[in-house]
């Protein structure tokens, strides 16, 4: 049975802040697996302070979700998307140029990047959610705000806000989220 202590936990408050080279914001890298120079997946929280282009990442699939602030406009060659703190995560290719414009002041955002695996990121905002996950799936939960409980098997747990929890499952698992505000990430097996 999966216990909470089996999961990796990374608290945002324990993660160093790195300024961007262009001065437009900062990033806190939560996890780069298996390492920071040759990763399969990377998750981070960024603060965007000014308009500017996103860095290009060739061959990388990206997901972007606003955590706080009024949101941003993402301008791609073929589409324009407004993303706010209650909107679904946006998926796009790191190959595409993307210009980011703030709607009304700085935002804090969650970023997922993957190479060579399929992934999905969904926002769950206090609504009840139950899902079954297969063995060898990598799951990650970024808890946006305090409150609620998660049930794994027959055990109930409280998770800390502004924390990332992740695990590669060694057996099938049903998870139920009750009254939680989080981002749920699933990635195919790569082990």
Find the CATH number of the domain harbouring 128: 2.60.120.10
Q: Bridge-partner residues for 101, per DSSP?
A: 73
| pLDDT digits 0-9 by tens, 103-161 | 999 999 999 999 999 999 999 998 889 999 999 999 999 999 998 899 998 889 999 99
Number of residues that make up the chain: 191
Q: Are residues 88 and 28 in the same domain?
A: yes
Domain containing residue 103: 15-114
pLDDT at residue number 23: 84
Query: Are 113 and 57 a contacting pair, CB within 8 Å?
Result: yes
Q: Are residues 66 and 122 in the same domain?
A: no
188 vs 33: CA distance, rounded Å: 14
Q: Are residues 135 and 106 in the same domain?
A: no
| Number of folded domains that form the chain | 2
Q: Are residues 19 and 91 in the same domain?
A: yes
| pLDDT digits 0-9 by tens, 36-68 | 989 999 999 999 999 999 988 999 999 999 999
Percent pLDDT > 90 in the chain is 84
- Give the closest residue to 27 by CA, choosing from 82, 88, 109: 109
Q: Are residues 76 and 163 in the same domain?
A: no
């Amino acid at each position: 049975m999966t216990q909470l202590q089996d999961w990796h936990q990374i608290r945002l408050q324990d993660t160093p802040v790195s300024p961007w080279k262009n001065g437009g914001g900062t990033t806190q890298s939560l996890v780069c697996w298996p390492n920071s120079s040759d990763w399969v997946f990377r998750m981070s929280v960024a603060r965007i302070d000014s308009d500017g282009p996103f860095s290009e990442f060739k061959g990388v699939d990206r997901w972007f979700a606003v955590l706080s602030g009024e949101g941003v406009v993402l301008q791609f060659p073929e589409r324009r998307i407004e993303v706010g703190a209650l909107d679904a995560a946006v998926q796009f290719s790191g190959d595409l140029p993307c210009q980011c414009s703030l709607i009304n002041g700085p935002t804090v955002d969650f970023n997922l990047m993957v190479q060579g695996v399929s992934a999905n990121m969904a926002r769950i905002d206090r609504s009840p959610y139950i899902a079954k996950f297969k063995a060898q799936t990598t799951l990650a939960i970024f808890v946006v705000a305090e409150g609620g409980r998660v049930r794994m098997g027959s055990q109930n747990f409280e998770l800390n806000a502004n924390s990332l929890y992740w695990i590669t499952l060694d057996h099938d698992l049903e998870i139920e989220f009750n009254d939680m505000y989080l981002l749920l990430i699933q990635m195919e097996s790569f082990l």
